[in-house]
A and B are shown apart, each in its own frame.
Chain A
Amino acid sequence: MIRALEYTGRPFIYIFEEFGRIFTFLINAITWMVRPPLRLRLVFKQMESVGVQSIIVVLITAVFTGMVLALQTFYGFRMFGGEGLVGATVALSMTREIGPVFTGLMVTARAGSAMAAEIGTMRVTEQIDALYAMSVNPIQYLVMPRLVAGVLMLPFLTIVSDFIGIMGGYVVGVFLLNINPGIFMARMVDMVNLGDIFNGLIKSACFGLILSLIGCYKGFNTRGGAEGVGKATTQTVVLSCVSILISDYFLTAFMFR
């Protein structure tokens, strides 16, 4: 009986343990963030890798999402003559949901996995031990810049994604579906508030933290050679994506009420 309980309870205990470890890891990284040296150069390098190098993939995702959104909502709204609302719908969905979430997912796939793989490789080839041996804290040297870059860059990627997505929607709506451009813009400006944009950006900063935290954590705790690195990378992508979607619900519930 007790063994059966133990058997079923173990996964839950494991989940809680993992939660606790990730949280401790985050606290550790934050304390190392406020200790000198600041390592701005490394932060910038990570910002380039997380932010600048993800622009293309984020742009492509955003523009096509905006376009397909315009197309789909158009057919829906046409049934009761509300074609003018297509712009507002595209803009609201982009700024509130699709911009932040899709950016988070794409950056997870691009940069989160890279973090896990890079740090994981450094772990299995003793490069992390080497950092310790040279009196350089790897949390500060490797993890902190990635976390900072994730939190800072995601909002910028998101704002670009919002903009491009809306542009995509505009092109499809106005040029392909012949919605009056004036009405398209007016309705959009009417319905979208500054708060929608900013809340989306706050969300994306949270996603940035989640994906870089999980990437670093999984990489940092890699065991078992090349196979371990592969496993860590896969786990990172899966766990990050799931966490982003779950936290998206709670953040939305909390912010938009």
Chain B
Amino acid sequence: MLKLSAEAKVGIFVVIGIIILALMAMKVGKLGLRLGEGYEVQAFFDTASGLASDAPVEIAGVEVGRVNKIRLSEGKALVTIKIYPGVKITESVKAIIRTRGILGDKYIELLKGVEGAALILAGGRILNTEPTTDIDNLMIVLGEVANDIRILSHTLASVIGGEKGEASLRSILDNLDKTIQSINRTVQDNDENVKEITSNLSAFSQRLREIGDTNLDDLQIILKNIRRATGKIGELVAGINQIAGRINRGEGSIGKLVQDDATIENLNKALTSLREITDKISKGEGTLGRLITEDQTADRLDQTLSSMQEITEKINRGEGSLGRLINDDETVESLNSTLSSINDLLKKQDMFLTYLDYRGEYLFESNRVKSYFTLRIQPREDKYYLLQVVDSPRGKETVTDTIRTVDGVTITEKKVESKSSDLQFSAQIAKRYYDIGFRAGLFESTGGAGIDYYLFKDRLKLSFEAFDFDVERRPHLTFRADYKPFKFLYLTTGMDDFISDIGRESYFVGGGFSFSDEDIKTLLRSVTFTARTD
């Protein structure tokens, strides 16, 4: 049988344990993994009685989120819900707290509202809510309603029935009679005033007719001009029609463009503003409105329209550069690809981050601090380059042991040459797949590689590095755990060089801070701001 070392046996066991744990966690905690993702919305409930954090939120029986927290706000229960990414809810949605079965747990059901209502975005609020409607509540409400009805009918009976009721009814009718009489009187009293108003109105219309007669000539000119323009426009429209027909059939590049939703939206917008302009023109507002009323303008308009017609015809025939451009399929494709590559570039620019980082580690064994200054360039989220200067307190150390044998007695001599401190350099390339990152390159001036495991939304990072593969010595292995409680600061602990055969193994604790260029910009801005206010 194969003889395994203790390390190997423990290793196999630990791996099996981790696999089982991962299996069980995945089976049981399918939601646990998703808890961190999604977006938050809020909802006010009159009562959140029985609702607990982490209670499911469902649409049509499918879980779409979880209750994040519940707190009191303005005398109502403010429930924060985390909706899983990819699930969209609209403002017309209705949130109801329901009970599963008779004794089951409470959960929130979202009833889908009207189609096409605006989406609720992260941080938004569900306005339409209904608190728990369990059977008890229902019974209480029903009881109240019955009670109200009873009281109402009782009062009605007492009002209408009996002598007292009759008397009050009669007095009401009397009052009505009096009121109508007084209205009648008021109208009669004001008869004169009404007549005056009517005569004023007729005088006003007389004036209006007079104004119309004097400007008749002008009006006729305007109408003639407009008729001419309409004729031209008619021809222009026919030309455009032809183009539109081709576009409709999807011919030519514009045809393709039109099939794009975004284009249509833009066109819509353009058309809307065009309509606004025409409205203004027809009202005679603005310069254009005034211009149209002049003869000269009409001629110019005429010319413009003619040349426009010419251009459309040319375009139609595919003449001229624009025509060729528009009629060419390739153009659009190249335009499209140009646009998308510009988009990509912009996105990349967005993600391109540079980090500055300082880390100090206190080594227990040597009672000294090891410092790292790091520049991390991160062109993509899953990839970065790392340049590092390491100030190692131990420096390079060479140990030589010699044995001498004198008269059958062996004497060992040890010679240690060491530089007290030394600057070393690291240059690494790193790539990340999901929660696991790999690094390779120069580690403290020697070749090596490392693995990082990211946990808890990257707050905790476990790293394992191996480098300094010397034939004479064991490699330098480092295990490190970084915990990031705040945005810029982190704490670190681990074991350095822990299989060292020259007594360099040491635990360490330490900390550091890390800024991205964005952070620095923000910081600088706030600094200058405070400086100015001073």
Binding site for B on A (CB under 8 A): 34-38, 40-41, 44-45, 47-48, 51-52, 55, 155-157, 159-160, 162-163, 188-189, 192-194, 196-197, 201
* 16 A-B pairs in the complex with CB atoms less than 8 angstroms apart: A36-B507, A38-B495, A38-B498, A40-B499, A41-B6, A41-B7, A48-B9, A52-B9, A52-B10, A155-B17, A159-B20, A159-B21, A189-B27, A193-B28, A193-B29, A194-B28
| Contact (Cβ within 8 A) B505 A194 | no
Residues of B within 8 A of A188 (CB): 28
| Contact (Cβ within 8 A) B9 A194 | no
List the 9 closest pairs (A to B, CB-CB), nearest first. A194-B29, A156-B17, A48-B6, A36-B365, A194-B32, A47-B10, A44-B6, A52-B9, A44-B7
| Contact (Cβ within 8 A) B9 A35 | no
Residues of A within 8 A of B5 (CB): 44
Residues of A within 8 A of B507 (CB): 34, 36, 38
Question: Given A36-B506, A55-B13, A156-B17, are A162 and B498 neighbors across the interface (CB < 8 Å)?
Answer: no
| Contact (Cβ within 8 A) A197 B25 | yes
Residues of A within 8 A of B7 (CB): 41, 44
Residues of B within 8 A of A163 (CB): 20, 23-24
| Contact (Cβ within 8 A) B17 A159 | yes
- Closest B residue to A194 by beta carbon equals B29
Residues of A within 8 A of B32 (CB): 193-194
| Contact (Cβ within 8 A) B20 A36 | no
Interchain CA distance A138-B162 in the complex, whole Å: 106
Interface residue ranges of B11-50 to A (CB < 8 Å):
13-14, 16-17, 20-21, 23-25, 27-30, 32
- Closest B residue to A38 by beta carbon equals B505
B503 at the interface (CB under 8 A from A): yes
**Could you list 16 further interchain pairs (A-B, Cβ under 8 angstroms) beyond the known A189-B30, A193-B28?**
A34-B507, A36-B364, A37-B503, A38-B495, A38-B498, A44-B5, A48-B6, A51-B10, A156-B13, A159-B24, A160-B16, A160-B17, A162-B20, A163-B23, A194-B29, A197-B21
Q: Is the interface of A mostly helix, strand, loop or mixed?
A: helix
**How far in angstroms is the closest Cβ of chain A from B433?**
23
Instruction: From A51, A159, A193, A196, name the one whose CB has the most chain B CB atoms within 10 angstroms.
Output: A159
Residues of B within 8 A of A162 (CB): 20, 24
Interchain CA distance A157-B364 in the complex, whole Å: 32
Interchain CA distance A31-B27 in the complex, whole Å: 40
Question: Given A36-B503, A38-B498, A197-B24, are A45 and B29 neighbors across the interface (CB < 8 Å)?
Answer: no
| Contact (Cβ within 8 A) B505 A37 | yes
Interface residue ranges of B237-253 to A (CB < 8 Å):
none
Residues of A within 8 A of B30 (CB): 189
Interchain CA distance A36-B498 in the complex, whole Å: 9
Q: Which of B13, B21, B29, B495 is within 8 Å of A51, CB to CB? A: B13
Question: Given A36-B364, A38-B498, are A189 and B28 neighbors across the interface (CB < 8 Å)?
Answer: yes
**How far in angstroms is the closest Cβ of chain A from B494?**
12
Interchain CA distance A34-B367 in the complex, whole Å: 12
| Contact (Cβ within 8 A) B20 A160 | yes
Interchain CA distance A189-B26 in the complex, whole Å: 10
**How far in angstroms is the closest Cβ of chain A from B131?**
25
Residues of A within 8 A of B365 (CB): 35-36
**How far in angstroms is the closest Cβ of chain A from B451?**
19
Interchain CA distance A124-B395 in the complex, whole Å: 45
**How far in angstroms is the closest Cβ of chain B from A145?**
11
| Contact (Cβ within 8 A) B28 A192 | yes
Interchain CA distance A37-B498 in the complex, whole Å: 9
Interchain CA distance A181-B499 in the complex, whole Å: 49
Interchain CA distance A48-B4 in the complex, whole Å: 11
Interchain CA distance A48-B10 in the complex, whole Å: 6
**How far in angstroms is the closest Cβ of chain A from B475?**
14
**How far in angstroms is the closest Cβ of chain A from B28?**
5
Interchain CA distance A8-B251 in the complex, whole Å: 106
Q: Which of B6, B14, B16, B24 is within 8 Å of A45, CB to CB? A: B6
Residues of B within 8 A of A36 (CB): 364-365, 503, 505-507
Interchain CA distance A172-B20 in the complex, whole Å: 21
**How far in angstroms is the closest Cβ of chain B from A207?**
16
| Contact (Cβ within 8 A) B14 A156 | yes
Residues of A within 8 A of B503 (CB): 36-37
Interchain CA distance A157-B23 in the complex, whole Å: 15
Residues of B within 8 A of A37 (CB): 503, 505
**How far in angstroms is the closest Cβ of chain B from A123?**
24
Interface string of B254-295 (1 = CB under 8 A from A): 000000000000000000000000000000000000000000
**How far in angstroms is the closest Cβ of chain B from A177?**
22
**How far in angstroms is the closest Cβ of chain A from B3?**
13
Interchain CA distance A189-B63 in the complex, whole Å: 15
Interchain CA distance A38-B16 in the complex, whole Å: 25
Interface residue ranges of B485-507 to A (CB < 8 Å):
495, 498-499, 503, 505-507
Interchain CA distance A157-B20 in the complex, whole Å: 11
Residues of A within 8 A of B21 (CB): 159, 197, 201
Residues of B within 8 A of A41 (CB): 6-7
Residues of A within 8 A of B25 (CB): 194, 197
Interchain CA distance A203-B273 in the complex, whole Å: 70
- Closest A residue to B33 by beta carbon equals A194
**How far in angstroms is the closest Cβ of chain A from B491?**
16
| Contact (Cβ within 8 A) A35 B364 | yes
Interchain CA distance A193-B7 in the complex, whole Å: 33
- Closest B residue to A190 by beta carbon equals B28
Interchain CA distance A228-B87 in the complex, whole Å: 69
- Closest A residue to B498 by beta carbon equals A38
Residues of A within 8 A of B27 (CB): 189
Interface string of B473-490 (1 = CB under 8 A from A): 000000000000000000
Question: Given A36-B365, A37-B505, are A197 and B28 neighbors across the interface (CB < 8 Å)?
Answer: yes
| Contact (Cβ within 8 A) B498 A40 | yes
**How far in angstroms is the closest Cβ of chain B from A51?**
6
**How far in angstroms is the closest Cβ of chain B from A137?**
15
| Contact (Cβ within 8 A) B364 A34 | yes
**How far in angstroms is the closest Cβ of chain B from A200?**
11
Interchain CA distance A47-B498 in the complex, whole Å: 17
Interchain CA distance A37-B29 in the complex, whole Å: 40
Instruction: From B16, B24, B495, name the one whose CB has the most chain A CB atoms within 10 angstroms.
Output: B24
**How far in angstroms is the closest Cβ of chain A from B442?**
26
Residues of A within 8 A of B23 (CB): 163
**How far in angstroms is the closest Cβ of chain B from A6?**
46
- Closest B residue to A201 by beta carbon equals B21
